[in-house]
Amino acid sequence: MKREQGKPRMLIIEDDDDIRRDLVETFVSPASGYVDAYQIPAFLVDEAATGSEADAFLSKAAVQFAPYDIVLLDIGLPQDAHSKNPSREVGAGLLKSLKARYSGACIAVIIESVHTELPIFLDALRQGAADFLPKPFSNEEIVRSVAQVYKAAHTRLANQWNACEKQRRERWLLVQTCAKVADEMAKVISDGLGDVVEKTRALGTLIHEYYQLDETRDRSHPICAALAIIQKMASDLGNDCAVKRSSFSPDSGPMSKMRIADVVNEAIDSLRPGFAYKHSRVNWPGGGGQFVHTFRDDIGMIVQELIFNAVETSPEGSTIGVSLQSKANEQSLELLVKDESSKLNDQARKAIAKGEVMGQSFGRGWGLALAQRVATNIGLRLRIESSKSGNTVVLSIPRSAND
């Protein structure tokens, strides 16, 4: 499900029904005077009254790789609907669990509490709370706190996402440079090979006319045997040229057995700032747990590019679909990454399919074309299926005897 216009998300954990209802109304409505005054967007809000309800919301967010931007947490909470009295331990446990489980998710937590003792305040900050508001507080005070925390978190996310993009660009520029060198070398070899092949043909014609020998009939003759050796050398040179054309990765890395699900999880984890920054989520049910394949380490950068491209090109609030499926009697596995961006035209899809990159353009499809080159080099293949609802990049992984 697409988030409503890419709105940021907030979880309000408060056992007082009146306070919780007032907070929801304040942050949900874009017409709220305080929200408008402090120039923060209206939020998509979930609300919880107990520790168990809050934990259910946070667990669901983790599974969907869609963390909350802001969590308002009352430090004194009942554990569940059957608990009679609120406890600071419940709220403190939630904070500790939240920061441990979602440490890479850039969730900003604001603590609200009737307990204003200095040790409680300091402990909340040590556990990662971004602010601490003593009760009672006014609407303006809570909005001001949310505005400060949200803007700081948003800036941090933007910087992290820009750093991801810069690292990706530098990595693919290195691959692109190596690919260009390999193409130039292959062209030189190919041009020279053409001369060799032409001279080999001329030599065969001379032998046939001058010595009246036939290559097939007289293949045991020393001259025909020597010609066959020359022709094989030319053929081997051509095959070697084709191999060198694709073998361009600057640091191929070792071969090792990996679970494809682990590769996907690692790629998604590295791109968490992008999901949070663009208010996107990932629909990744997992799977492929038993599929262990002997990969070169380059597989990680390919999978990361597929997911990065989907996040970067899709509108804010989109859902990125990631799935695995077996094909052709379990002889291969396919990793599918679906975005919600506009349909790629035929020319772009053909260029990506061939791994063609012109110039140093960082436009759409640039990284995918280079990922195709690397994939081809390690025995994999990319293809793109486009429709009005978006594009699906499919990475085909053949099974081998060692899987």
Q: Would the pLDDT of 46 be above 90? A: yes
Strands of 44-48's sheet in order across = 44-48, 9-13, 70-74, 108-113, 131-134
Residue 272, SS3 per DSSP: helix
Beta bridge pairs of residue 185: none
Pairing of strands 131-134, 108-113: parallel
Q: What is the DSSP letter of 344?
A: P
Q: Would the pLDDT of 177 be above 80? A: no
Alpha-carbon torsion 304, 306, 308, 311, what sign?
A: negative
DSSP H or E stretch at residue 134: strand 131-134
Tell me the residue ranges of DSSP E strands in 287-380.
292-296, 319-327, 332-338
With respect to CATH, is domain 255-398 assigned 3.30.565.10? yes
| Polymer length in residues for the chain | 403
C-alpha 16/C-alpha 23 separation (Å) is 11
Computed over every residue of the chain, the mean pLDDT equals 77
Q: What is the average per-residue pLDDT within 181-197?
A: 62
| Other C-beta atoms lying within 10 Å of the C-beta of residue 42 | 19
Enter the tokens of residue 320. Answer: 């990125």
pLDDT-based confidence at 107, cuts 50/70/90?
low
113 phi/psi in degrees, rounded to 5: -160, 150
Q: Would the pLDDT of 287 be above 50? A: yes
C-alpha 177/C-alpha 195 separation (Å) is 28
CB 259 within 8 A of CB 289: yes
What angle in degrees, to the nearest 10, is found between the helix axes of 17-28 and 139-211? 50
C-alpha 294/C-alpha 289 separation (Å) is 14
What class is the 4-137 domain?
A: alpha beta
C-alpha 365/C-alpha 368 separation (Å) is 5
Q: Residue 178 contacts by C-beta under 8 Å, 6 or more apart in sequence?
A: 248, 249, 250
Most confident of 14-23, 285-294, 349-358: 14-23
Identify the pLDDT of residue 298: 79
From residue 193, how far is each of 189, 196, 204, 206 by CA, in Å? 6, 5, 16, 20
Domain boundary assignment for the chain: 4-137, 172-246, 255-398
Identify the pLDDT of residue 18: 92
- Furthest C-alpha separation in the chain: 108
Q: What is the DSSP letter of 5?
A: G
Q: Would the pLDDT of 302 be above 80? A: yes
Identify the pLDDT of residue 322: 93
Q: What is the average per-residue pLDDT within 310-325?
A: 89
Identify the pLDDT of residue 246: 47
Identify the pLDDT of residue 104: 46
Enter the tokens of residue 253. Answer: 């890395």
115 phi/psi in degrees, rounded to 5: -90, 110
Q: Would the pLDDT of 2 be above 80? A: no
C-alpha 170/C-alpha 188 separation (Å) is 27
Task: Write out pLDDT tens, residues 322-361.
Answer: 998 876 566 778 899 999 998 888 888 888 887 776 554 5
Q: Would the pLDDT of 245 be above 50? A: no
C-alpha 160/C-alpha 189 separation (Å) is 44
148 phi/psi in degrees, rounded to 5: -65, -45
C-alpha 351/C-alpha 357 separation (Å) is 7
Q: Would the pLDDT of 126 be above 70? A: yes
Pairing of strands 319-327, 281-283: parallel
* Closest C-alpha to 77, from 67, 89, 86, 85: 86
pLDDT-based confidence at 91, cuts 50/70/90?
confident
Determine the distance from the C-alpha atom of residue 307 to the mean position of all C-alpha atoms in its chain, rounded to a whole number. 3
Let me know the angle formed at the C-alpha of 123 by 65 and 109, rounded to the nearest 5 degrees: 30
Beta bridge pairs of residue 294: 257
| Other C-beta atoms lying within 10 Å of the C-beta of residue 389 | 11
- Range in 19-28, 150-159, 199-208, 253-262 the model is least confident about: 199-208
Residue 71, SS3 per DSSP: strand
Model-level pTM greater than 0.85?
no
CB 313 within 8 A of CB 341: yes
